[in-house]
Copies of this chain bind each other. A is one copy, B any other.
């Protein structure tokens, strides 16, 4: 797939990085950005992340062969409704949302025949937010999940996969339902746990917390508006994930109260081995995991 006119709806860190990367991969590609703040669009233009800017979404998708939704999950349905009449026949639409069932369902309902939708979740995080932190290599080496359904056009799926691969991503395929169920466990639940851990502390506890607490709660510093969209959208799976972690906690308490160090050690060591195996598998991927996998060779974490 050669993208001639790429429309990026929402030019923040992800959208801006996508523009920089696309212009590098396809120098002839025209990158169009939509945003509701002119100031962000001006920064994106100045950084060379986009060639044209619109504060009107329908105009931003006019003539585009690939449209990528990069706004928060909760805005997708109204955004799809607003751009549907303007999308060119044959255009492909995808997204970067952290939940997939709702956007895939909405797209299949709202978009006209001839416009082809493929759900995507490029998992390229960063501490930073805003177009000014865009990097052409943000997607490099990270995982992107695509979520086709029986109604997904196979050519569009292949083109979208090729698009993410061209940006350096490793592809995974899941159904929208499997994606949302698994992400509830590995991403949305950890976020809720981190927020719960922080809010339950009193000041005297925070005064004596160590590096372990700081790391375990890093994700709790995320943007509340962005995350409340995600958690509400995936609430059914998340409720099940919360129940499962409560059961795991009860299991741990049972082991601890049994005063049986061997059984508790076995459980703790199985967690440590499982996480270490995960780091090994990811060592070719993200920088964090690679660095940590290297330092893991020097031994496990000391309690503080």
Contact A228 B271 (CB under 8 A): no
Q: A181 to chain B: closest CB distance in Å? A: 8
Distance of A214 Cα from B244 Cα, bound (Å)? 19
**Number of residues in A with C-beta < 8 Å to the partner?**
113
Within 8 A of B (CB), among A227-246: 227-232, 235, 238-239, 242, 244-246
Tell me whether A185 is interfacial, beta carbon within 8 Å: yes
- Kindly state the separation between the CA atoms of A82 and B219 in the bound complex, as whole angstroms: 46
Is A130 in contact with chain B by the CB < 8 A criterion? yes
* Cross-chain contact A269 with B133 (CB below 8 angstroms): no
A35-71 CB mask vs B (1 if < 8 Å, else 0) is: 0000000000000000000000000000000000000
Report the bound CA distance from A141 to B232 in whole Å. 41
- Give A230 Cβ to nearest chain B Cβ, in Å: 6
Most B CB contacts (10 A, CB to CB) among A178, A204, A211, A264 go to A211
Chain A 109-144: CB-based contact to B (< 8 A → 1; otherwise 0): 000000000000001111111100100000000110
* Contact digits for A237-268, partner B, Cβ 8 Å, 1 yes 0 no: 01100101110111111001101010011111
Contact with B along A186-200 (1 / 0, CB 8 A): 110111111111111
Of B185, B194, B200, B222, the residue contacting A244 (CB under 8 A) is B200
Instruction: Determine whether A224 belongs to the interface, using a CB cutoff of 8 Å to chain B.
Output: yes
Whether A128 and B221, one on each chain, are in contact in the complex, defined by CB atoms closer than 8 angstroms, is: no
A279 on interface, CB distance cutoff 8 Å: yes
What's the minimum C-beta distance from A13 to chain B, rounded to whole angstroms?
A: 6
Contacts A216-B190, A245-B197, A298-B127 given; indicate if A303 touches B253 (C-beta within 8 A).
no
Number of identical protomers = 2
Query: Could you say which of B259, B278, B300 contacts A129, with CB atoms under 8 Å apart?
Result: B300
Q: How far is the CB of A228 from chain B (nearest CB, A)?
A: 4
Residues of B within 8 A of A231 (CB): 256, 264
Mark A residues whose CB is within 8 Å of B.
13-14, 74, 98, 123-130, 133, 142-143, 145, 172, 174, 178-179, 182-183, 185-187, 189-201, 204-232, 235, 238-239, 242, 244-246, 248-253, 256-257, 259, 261, 264-272, 274-276, 278-279, 281-282, 286, 288-289, 292, 295-296, 298-304
A182-B204, A187-B213 are known; give 7 further A-B pairs, CB within 8 A. A130-B298, A172-B207, A186-B206, A193-B245, A196-B251, A222-B301, A239-B257
11 sampled A-B residue pairs with Cβ under 8 A: A14-B302, A123-B208, A186-B205, A193-B197, A194-B271, A216-B219, A217-B275, A228-B265, A228-B268, A235-B256, A238-B253
